[in-house]
Amino acid sequence: MKFTVEQNKGTEIVTDLFVIGLFKGDSQPGGCFADMDQALDGVLSRFLEEEWTQGSKKAEVIYTLGQLPAKRVMVVNGGEKDEFDLSKARELFGYVTKEALKLKVKKVTYCLSSFASHDDEEQASLAHALAEASVLASYRFDTYKTREEDAQPSVEHVSVCVLEGREEVEQGLKTGQIYAEGTCMARDLVNTPGNYLTPSKLAEKAVEIASKHGFEYDILDRDQMEELGMGALLAVAQGSDQPPKMIVIKYQGKEKWEDVLAFVGKGLTFDTGGISLKPSKDMHEMKMDMGGAAAVLGAMEVIGRLKPKCNVLAVIPSTENMPSGRALKPGDVITSYDGKTIEVRNTDAEGRLILADGIAYAKTLGADYIVDLATLTGAILIALGDCTTGAVSNDEELMIDVLEAATEAGELVWRLPSYEPYKKMVRSSDVADLNNAPGRLAGSITAGLFLGEFAGDTPWVHLDIAGTAWSSREDELTRKGGTGVMVRTLATLAERFAE
C-alpha cells in the first residue's frame, strides 16, 4: 500500500474516494469542508442541518457526478469530538478502509484536518493511526487459496490532504505503516499451518529478518541445547519428530551492550497437549500457539526498520508438543537450564516449560529487563475475555512502562496480582522445586508466576496473549485468525527505551 501527502485543496485532488470527518455539534467544520460543500451545491451542509452526526450511521457515500475530481465523497460520523482519541480514530479509519474495499476503489484520500486540529503533533499521531488502520484493515491471509474467484480487491494508494505540517504527517504515515506491516507479518506466521511452519521454518524466518536488518543471530539445535542443559525445552520436544530450536536475535542500537531489553516469545508451532491430549474440537487452531514468537519477530521487523537507539534481545524457544512413545509424561521430573527441577503434572502446560529455559537463557545473554509473551493459558480467556491481554510482573517501573506502551499502541493490557499465596501454589510439588500445573484456581496467575521463578530479580513482565492472539470474529482492524497482538506494544516499548 502506498501512502502520500498532497498539499492541495480537496477540490483539486483526483481520487476514487475522498473522506471527510464530521463531529456532533460541529456547526462549522474546518479543513476541506467548505470548498467541497460549495462544489457539491451544499450537499454536505445538509448532514449538519439534519443532525446526521447524532444518529448511529457511520458513513454516507456521495457520488460527485463530475462536480469534483474525486469520484466519491464519504462523509464519516466521528461522534463526540471530545471523545475522539487515537483508538477511536484507528477503528474509524479501519471501518472506512473496509468500506473502500467493498466499493473496490484503488485510491482513498483523507482530509486529515477534518479529524484533527492544525497542531502538527496531533496530525502526525493521527497520520500514524491512519496508516496503521489502513494496512491492518486490508489484511487477508489467502496464501493457500488457488481459485481466481477467491481474489479480493485491494486499496493500493492512501493519500492525505493537508495544508501544513507535511513533514510531520509524512513521518507519521511512515511509522504507522511500519508498525502495521510488522503486525501483519506476525499475523501471517500465526495463520500459517503447522505443517508449513515448523520450528526449523520459524528459525529460518528469524534468520531472514536478522539478515535483512544486520542483526546478530544464533540458532541453537538439539545437541547444543543438550550440552547447555536446557532440560525443560528438550523435555517438551522429545515427543515430536521435528527438531527444537532456540532462536536468538540481537539488535544493538547503543555503543555498549547494556540496558538490554529482552523479548522472550513462546514458539510452540503446534500444540496437541502431548500425553495430556487436548479435545479434538478446534485443535486445528493450535497452530496459533506460537503467537508470542510471532509478536517478537514482528516487533524485531519494526525495530529493524526504525532503528531506535536501544539494545534489544529476542529469544524464542521453539518446538512442537506431540504425543508419542517418547513424549513427556505426567509425573515426570525434569531439570531446567538454570538448575531448578520441575514436576510435570500436566503436559499441556508446556509453554511455561519452554519459556523457563528461554527466560533463563536470556539472562545469561545480558538481559537487564525481560518481557515474555505467550499464548499461555485458557484461564486468561475466562478472566479477561478475548480483548485484553493479562500481565504478571515483579517490577513496578517496567510494568508501568509496558502499560503505557500498550495504551499508546491501542492494545489492552490488565495487570493480575502476584501475592505470596499464589507463589506457594507454584512451589507445591512434593518431589521437585516447582509444580508446572498446581490446579485450576488462579490458573493464569500461577502460570505467570511459574515463569517469574526463572526471571528471579531481573525486572520482568509476563504477557498472556492466549485470549488476544487469535480472533474468532472480524472487527474494524482484524479478520478471523491471527491478530498480531503486542507487536505494536513491544515496538513502542523499545522506542520508549531509546528516549
pLDDT at 418: 96
Q: What is the pLDDT of residue 57?
A: 83
Helix (H) or strand (E) run with residue 159 in it: strand 157-161
pLDDT tens, the chain, 499 aa long: 999 999 888 899 999 999 999 998 787 787 889 999 999 999 998 888 767 777 778 999 999 999 999 999 999 999 888 889 999 999 999 999 999 999 999 999 999 989 876 566 888 999 999 999 999 999 999 989 887 766 678 999 999 998 777 899 999 999 999 999 999 999 999 999 999 999 999 999 999 999 999 999 999 999 999 999 999 999 999 999 999 999 999 999 999 999 999 999 999 999 999 999 999 999 999 999 999 999 999 999 999 999 999 999 999 999 999 999 999 999 999 999 999 999 999 999 999 999 999 999 999 999 999 999 999 999 999 999 999 999 999 999 999 999 999 999 999 999 999 999 999 999 999 999 999 999 999 999 999 999 999 999 999 999 999 999 999 999 999 999 999 999 999 999 999 999 7
Q: Which pLDDT does position 117 carry in this prediction?
A: 64
In the annotated binding site for Mn(2+), the residues are 266, 271, 289, 348, 350
Task: Report DSSP state, residue 138.
Answer: H
Structural domain boundaries of the chain? 2-163, 184-497
H helix intervals, 155-290: 166-191, 199-213, 222-228, 231-237
Residue 109 CA to residue 99 CA, distance in Å, equals 13
pTM: 0.96
pLDDT of residue 150: 66
278 is catalytic: yes
Is residue 301 within a helix (H) or strand (E), and if so which, with residue range? helix 291-306
Residue for grid cell 511509522: 175
- Which of 58, 71, 278, 423 is labelled catalytic? 278
Q: How far apart are CA 430 and CA 309, in angstroms?
A: 47
pLDDT (0 to 100) of residue 82: 86
- Please give the CATH topology (third level) of the domain spanning 2-163: Leucine Aminopeptidase, subunit E; domain 1 (3.40.220)
Closest CA to 454 of 353, 345, 334: 353
Cα 454 from Cα 189, distance rounded (Å): 27
Question: For residues 491 and 314, what is the distance between their CA atoms, to the nearest angstrom?
Answer: 12
Give pLDDT, residue 118. 59
Residue 294 and residue 189 in contact, taking contact as beta carbons nearer than 8 Å: yes
Query: Hey, CA dihedral for 352, 358, 364, 369, is it positive or negative?
Result: negative
Class of domain 184-497: alpha beta
Active site residue 72: no
The catalytic residue among 107, 201, 287, 352 is: 352
Per the CB < 8 A criterion, the answer to whether 232 and 256 are in contact is no
* pLDDT reported for residue 25: 79
- CA dist., res. 109 & res. 15, Å (int): 6
Q: Is 41 left (phi over 0), alpha (psi -120 to 50) or beta?
A: left
